Amino acid sequence: MDAEGMSEETEFINRKQNDPSAPTVSIETVSVVRPIKVLSFICCLVGILFNALSVASSSWLKDDVGQEGLWSKCIYIEDRDDEVMCMTSKHREWMSACRALSAFGLIICFISMVVLTIGIQTTNGRMKYKYYGLAILIMFFAAVPDVVSLIIYPVRFREELIGDYWNVGWAYIIGWFAVILKIGGGVLVFIDRNTEELVEKEVTTCPNDIEDYE
């Protein structure tokens, strides 16, 4: 290219830069939400709901005279199969430990859901994967106190049982489902933790379009 051609090109670029009506181009970073991350979030959310129902219910274990949960005990009324009399469970050290463990697991699972949500929404590439790693650890950790509580409760309940009959209630069962969902949510994030989710796209803005919009 000769000097005259370079001069014309430079003049064209300067005119374009000085022209306020020329379109401007910018690079925008967009976070792509992957379905597996959404599924992990749903697992975590349902796990929290199941955990809360399990902790609040009185239907952990049943025997001949009634049923008992972490906070209350309900006794069947004789000759009235559809009626029960409920009261606060008597204080026992192992029961208090189960209560604390279950409540702690519920709180930790909620924290993991918050961390996962932040990781999904952020466009900071370096922090995004740190949030995912932290969410995985918290989800796995949240399942530990629940597992301990779900193991201790029937063992100690059986030791205090007077009769021979006992059975698990629906609240105890969904407590185990909550554990499975917490672990499953962590596994899903772990499988998809290093997948690229940030996409850079070119955005062209025309001043005339902005003025017309205003």
Q: Give the CATH number for residue 49.
A: 1.20.140.150
Burial class (CB in 10 A: 0-12, 13-18, 19+), 99: middle
Assess if residue 5 is contained within a domain.
no
As a whole number, the mean pLDDT across the chain is 78
Instruction: Check residues 62 and 77 and name the one with the higher pLDDT.
Output: 62
CA distance 156 to 92: 10
Count of domains forming the chain: 1
pLDDT tens per residue across span 76-105: 777 666 667 788 878 889 889 999 999 999
Mean pLDDT confidence for 140-166? 87
Confidence band, pLDDT 50/70/90 cuts, at residue 128: confident
Residues 6+ apart with CB under 8 A from 110: 48
CA distance 87 to 100: 20
Q: Up-side HSE of residue 87: CA atoms within 13 Å toward CB?
A: 7
Assess if residue 8 is contained within a domain.
no
Assess if residue 7 is contained within a domain.
no
pTM, whole model, 2 decimals?
Answer: 0.72
> Domain of 116?
31-213
